[in-house]
Amino acid sequence: MTGVKIVVALGLVIAAVLIQSTVFQYIRPFGFAPELGLLTVIAISRYLDAEQAMFVAFTGGFLQDLLGGSPLGLWAIVFTIVAFVTVKVRAREVAGPPAVAIGVLGLTVIGLVTYMILGTLFGLGIIGRPGVMWDMLIPAIYNLVLALPVFWLVRIAIRPQERSMIR
């Protein structure tokens, strides 16, 4: 059953990265797009074991690097770090939608700040750009809005026996 969970989780992350790199390249409300791959990694990391979550996160991030044009390994590192933090804090979180919302917002910001810092170190000069705060906050808010359907889909796909919305 564990192998099936990994395959399903990989499928979900791959689908999210593909949607992000195709659909959200053209549909960008207010000039920004959600970080759907990152959000899916957060959702999946809640339900998988630590090693499985790191594997799925790294694979999804590597695919995003290949499709997105960023330096190879940058998104892979970010996705893996976010999955690691999610695994570490999931046992400590308070149950309920407000805690999940704060967690999604915080983990997305952590991921985007990590991307900005590492991207600057990789030579992309992200931190020096004007409006860099908006580049972090607006996608985090979009992820917050998309959290409920993404978490619902991940829960149905990975744990079909649990039918409640958010735990």
Distances (CA, A) of 153 to 3, 55, 57, 61, 164: 19, 20, 17, 20, 11
Where does residue 19 rank: exposed (0-12), middle (13-18), buried (19+ CB within 10 A)?
middle
- Taking all residues of the chain, what is their mean pLDDT, rounded to a whole number? 89
Instruction: Write out pLDDT tens, residues 44-80.
Output: 999 899 999 999 999 999 999 999 878 889 999 999 9
The CATH number of domain 2-158 is 1.10.1760: yes
Q: pTM of this prediction?
A: 0.90
Instruction: Write out pLDDT tens, residues 6-38.
Output: 999 999 999 999 999 999 888 888 888 899 999
pLDDT score recorded for residue 93 = 58
